[in-house]
């Protein structure tokens, strides 16, 4: 099982760069698929320069393979004396990887290498007048790395504890070795420090023992150079320095500017160097390629999926994929919705299927309201989720013994706010055996033709037990009729003092 640490995201339509655009002005590409010096040779198509050279003697890492997975049977320079100096039990990345090692006695053990022809001269004082180096003043570096410190690296020295993915060398005419560009840990922890022109940016914590992606993109703003740092597809830092200070004569990979100290302890793969800055879309594509085990130079196709409405459900399978790869596609409705259909390139397809990628794809999953009533409360699942905010699988969301549909359509109470107190009162006072009954006879209207007077006649019967009724005598002592608020009130003795509540029925 390959182990990653990254921030999940969805690739939006149009975010993939045009086919081939990612390799435009790619001047250095190192995939570490071969052994020996061939493993650090520049693999840009047609390249005649910028191949790497191992640092130190012998050329560490030139064993039978670079792979960092369990199938790797090769050796490194220190296994004989220090068997823990390897990462053979860690998952590899795209094919084989550069496997660097770091021993206790000397921190300069494993296959770090340098590319002295990758240069930037911010002052424009190169070998040819006004020449700004092979990278110019706007360039970018991308790399995947897996920090896996060996347990024997317990030294407290700075060289033993710090580990670098890359750093520049040989600054300016003075040949002072400084950190014009840099990405390495700041100490024993996994906090990485970016530099441009020796200016330190915001440090970023990146967990060890997992594959991570870093991109440093350099662009000019007037007399300054701006470094934008992305880690695992997310921008984490920006900083600026005078362009004249970004003046280096090579880049070391897997170690710091000195080459024989602060060696990276783990694996590095898919290193790319451009003599231009990279756009955010290109950084995203690089990250997508890596998470899908697709190399920088391999042709890819974009599968762009969306949900409509976005609240209706989710889609999976979006991203960049190699031609011929099989990608599981799925449209999954959220509660209250159902999958209706695909539009676009997937029209007529089922909600879930396996896609063999042969061309770019753009499709939208359409979701509609779920008009079924799963819990039988009289409300559709769609209305429960989107309007009433109730649980479509629970007839009484607030647990007050009044079904959600009754609260919405009959009692006009909230189905999400419990009316348990009211329900308890009704049950205790108006339930069977707890309430008497007052029944009314039909109201009769009589008119005296001679006088024109209107007479309203109403009869009342009462019962304490709901079974035995007696007529209520409105002319008896204690009874009376009084005007009240445009109407009138009837007052009479209760049929029984043993009952606290009575239910009024409209007709006898």
Q: Are 59 and 39 in contact (CB under 8 A)?
A: no
For residue 70, pLDDT beyond 60: no
- Better pLDDT: 360 or 105: 360
The span from the CA of 54 to the CA of 74, in Å, is 18
The span from the CA of 456 to the CA of 416, in Å, is 45
Q: What are the pLDDT digits (tens) for 295-350?
A: 999 888 889 999 999 999 999 999 888 888 899 999 999 999 999 999 999 999 99
- Give backbone dihedrals phi and psi of 291, rounded to 5 degrees, phi first: -65, -20
Per-residue DSSP letter, 171: B
Span of 53-67, 181-195, 210-224, 393-407 with lowest mean pLDDT: 53-67
**Encoding tokens for residue 175?**
């040949």
Burial profile 11-50: b = 16 or more Cβ within 10 angstroms, e = fewer: beeebbbeeeebbebbbbbbbbbebeeebbbbbbeeeeeb
The span from the CA of 395 to the CA of 415, in Å, is 10
Rounded to a whole number, what is the largest CA-CA distance in the chain? Answer: 133
Stretch 250-266: mean pLDDT? 87
Q: Are 275 and 334 in contact (CB under 8 A)?
A: no
- Better pLDDT: 477 or 416: 416
The span from the CA of 283 to the CA of 329, in Å, is 24
Stated pTM of the model:
0.65
Question: Which three-class secondary structure state does DSSP give residue 42?
Answer: coil
The predicted pLDDT at position 155 comes to: 60
- Better pLDDT: 23 or 12: 23
The DSSP secondary structure of 62-115, one letter per residue, reads -SS----STT-----TTTTT-TTS--TTS---SSS-EEE---SS-S--S--EEE
Q: What are the pLDDT digits (tens) for 117-139?
A: 999 988 776 666 567 889 999 99
Q: How many Cβ atoms sit within 10 Å of the Cβ of residue 201? A: 21
The predicted pLDDT at position 11 comes to: 40
The span from the CA of 255 to the CA of 162, in Å, is 9
Span of 230-239, 423-432, 497-506 with lowest mean pLDDT: 423-432
Residue 164 exposure: Cα atoms within 13 Å on the Cβ side = 30
Distance of CA 331 to the CA centre of its chain: 18
Stretch 57-64: mean pLDDT? 41
Q: Which CATH class is domain 19-40+51-71+91-119+131-292?
A: mainly beta
The band of 1, judged by pLDDT with boundaries at 50, 70 and 90, is very low
Q: Are 437 and 502 in contact (CB under 8 A)?
A: yes
* Domain spans of the chain, in order of start: 19-40+51-71+91-119+131-292, 300-369, 381-491
- Helix (H) or strand (E) run with residue 285 in it: helix 280-291
Q: Are 421 and 489 in contact (CB under 8 A)?
A: no
Handedness of CA 197, 199, 200, 201 (dihedral sign): negative
Q: Which of 318, 276, 291, 233 is nearest to 14 (CA)?
A: 318
Residues 6 or more apart whose Cβ sits within 8 Å of residue 463: 436, 437, 439, 469, 470, 495
The DSSP secondary structure of 455-487, one letter per residue, reads EEE--EEEESSSS--EE--TTSTT-EEEEETTE
The band of 235, judged by pLDDT with boundaries at 50, 70 and 90, is very high
Q: Where are the beta strands (DSSP E) in 132-243?
A: 139-147, 164-168, 181-185, 191-196, 199-200, 204-205, 211-221, 224-231, 234-242
């Amino acid at each position: 099982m390959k182990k990653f640490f990254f921030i999940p995201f969805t690739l939006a339509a149009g975010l993939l760069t045009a086919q081939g655009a990612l390799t435009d002005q790619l001047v250095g590409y190192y995939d570490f698929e071969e052994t020996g010096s061939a493993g650090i040779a520049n693999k840009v198509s047609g390249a005649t320069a910028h191949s790497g050279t191992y640092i130190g003697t012998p050329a560490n890492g030139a064993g039978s393979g670079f792979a960092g997975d369990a199938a790797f049977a090769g050796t490194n320079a220190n296994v004989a004396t220090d068997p823990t100096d390897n990462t053979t039990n860690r998952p590899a990345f795209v094919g084989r990887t550069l496997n660097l090692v770091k021993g206790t006695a000397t921190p300069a053990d494993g296959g770090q290498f340098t590319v002295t022809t990758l240069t930037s001269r911010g002052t424009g004082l190169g070998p040819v007048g006004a020449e700004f180096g092979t990278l110019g003043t706007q360039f970018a570096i991308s790399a995947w790395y897996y920090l896996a410190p060996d347990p024997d690296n317990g030294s407290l020295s700075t060289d033993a504890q710090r580990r670098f993915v890359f750093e520049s060398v040989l600054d300016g005419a003075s040949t002072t070795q400084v950190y014009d560009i840099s990405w390495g840990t700041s100490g024993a922890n996994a906090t990485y420090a970016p530099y441009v022109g020796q200016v330190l940016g915001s440090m970023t914590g990146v967990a060890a023992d997992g594959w991570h992606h870093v991109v440093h993109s350099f662009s000019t703003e007037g007399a300054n150079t701006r470094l934008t740092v992305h880690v695992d597809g997310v921008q984490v830092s920006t900083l600026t320095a005078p362009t004249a200070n970004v003046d280096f004569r090579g880049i070391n990979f897997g170690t710091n500017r000195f080459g024989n100290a602060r060696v990276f302890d783990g694996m590095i793969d898919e290193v790319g160097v451009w003599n231009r800055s990279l756009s955010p879309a290109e950084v995203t594509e690089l990250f997508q390629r890596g998470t899908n085990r697709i190399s920088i130079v391999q042709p890819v196709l974009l599968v762009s999926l969306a949900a409509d409405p976005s609240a209706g459900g989710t889609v999976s399978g979006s991203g960049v994929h190699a031609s011929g790869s099989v990608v599981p596609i799925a449209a999954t409705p959220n509660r209250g919705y159902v999958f209706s259909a695909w539009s676009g390139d997937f029209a007529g397809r089922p909600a879930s299927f396996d896609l063999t990628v042969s061309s770019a794809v753009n499709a939208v999953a359409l979701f509609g309201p779920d008009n079924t009533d799963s819990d039988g409360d009289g409300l559709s699942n769609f209305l429960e989720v989107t309007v009433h905010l109730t649980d479509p699988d629970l007839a009484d969301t607030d647990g007050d013994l009044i079904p959600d549909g009754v609260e919405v359509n009959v009692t006009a109470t909230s189905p999400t706010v419990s009316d348990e107190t009211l329900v308890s009162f009704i049950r205790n006072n108006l339930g069977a055996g707890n309430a008497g009954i007052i029944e009314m006879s039909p109201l009769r209207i009589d008119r005296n033709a001679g006088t024109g007077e209107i007479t309203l006649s109403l009869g009342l019967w009462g019962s304490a037990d709901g079974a035995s009724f007696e007529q209520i005598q409105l002319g008896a002592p204690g009874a009376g009729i009084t005007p009240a608020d445009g109407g009138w009130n009837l007052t009479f003795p209760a049929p029984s003092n043993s009952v606290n509540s009575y239910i009024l029925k409209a007709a006898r």
